[in-house]
Amino acid sequence: MQINNAVVAQAEADAPKSGYDTTNLYTLAVNKDGKPDLVTVDMNDLDSSSQELLADRINQTPERTGYQGYLLGDGIPPNGEAFGHGASFPTNSIEGDYFLRTDFMPNRLFRQDGSRWVKQEDNVRMTLTNTDSRATQKGTFVNNTTSNIIGGETVTERQPLSKALKPKADN
């Protein structure tokens, strides 16, 4: 098993998750004219008392990632911007804030555009290793420990297809 584990570890180092890693790449936020969208103190009437605002911020946060491709969504805002997370949106937010809704499956990243929260991306990148927590569509049928209470009876959600809802002994 040690050899097996070492090979898997090497494979995981080569490709930790499905899709492509763009966390090290920079996305330049642009305005409607295609120019860099600046939010420096010189350019805007900024309220420096706002807790969400970074004093050294120069660029507005990007409205979308600048890179396109297969399976890029990782739930992390472009440029590594700070973001909150939770099951409901925060009440105090300003334009450019990011928020990861963890009640979505897969988790969904939103950005505040000044008036509403706009979907950015879904966290669709995941490990390629056959772990017990892998959550692909097929994986959610296999890696499933959920049980439901149906009609007062606890029913295990994952059941072999041949045994699912099979009639019980009816004497």
Partner 1 sequence: MQHFYDGQIRRYITQMVRLLSNFSYADSKGNLTQIPVMYGDITRQVGAIIKDNSENKIPSAPRIGVYVTGMEMDRTRTADATYTGKVHLRERTYDENSNEYLNTQGSNYTVERLMPTPYMLNINCDIWSTNTEQKLQILEQILMLFNPSLEIQTTDNYVDWTSLSVVNLENINFSSRSIPMGVDTEIDVATLGFQTPIFISPPAKVKKLGVITNVIMSIFDETKGTIDLGQSMPELNAYDDSWGNSIKNKDADGRIHLQVTTASGYDAIVTNTIVQLGKNGISGEINWREVLESEPGEYAAGLSKIYLNRIDLAAPVVGTFALNNLDETQIIVNWDEDTIPTNTVLGLPNSPQKGTIDAIIDPTRVNPVNLKVAGTRILLLGDIGATANTDGADAWKDSSGNDTLVASENDIIEWSGTQWQIVFDSSTKNNPATDVTYTTNLTSGIQYKWDGTEWTLSFEGEYRKGSWRLVL
Q: Note whether 61 and 102 are within 8 A (CB).
A: no
What is the Cα–Cα distance from 163 to 149, expressed in whole angstroms? 18
Beta strand pairing call for 98-101 and 83-86: parallel
- Is 36 a residue that touches partner 1 (CB under 8 A)? yes
Which H/E stretch holds residue 141? Answer: helix 137-142
Q: Please report whether residue 156 would count as binding partner 1 according to CB under 8 A.
A: no
For position 44 contacting partner 1 by CB under 8 A, the verdict is no
For position 131 contacting partner 1 by CB under 8 A, the verdict is: yes
Tell me the window of 34-42, 87-95, 147-155, 163-171 that interacts with partner 1 (CB under 8 A): 34-42
Question: Where does this chain touch partner 1 (CB under 8 A) — which range of 9-17, 95-103, 116-124, 145-153?
Answer: 9-17
Region of 33 (left: φ > 0; alpha: ψ -120 to 50; beta: rest) is: alpha
The number of CA neighbours under 13 Å toward the Cβ of 169 is: 1
- Which residue lies nearer to partner 1 by CB, 28 or 155? 28
Q: Near partner 1 by CB under 8 A, which window of 7-15, 86-94, 97-105, 146-154?
A: 7-15
Contacts of 10 (CB under 8 A, 6+ apart): none
Which residue ranges make up the site for partner 1 (CB under 8 A)? 1, 3-4, 7-8, 10-12, 14-28, 35-36, 38, 40, 42-43, 58-59, 66-67, 69-70, 72, 79-81, 125, 128-131, 138
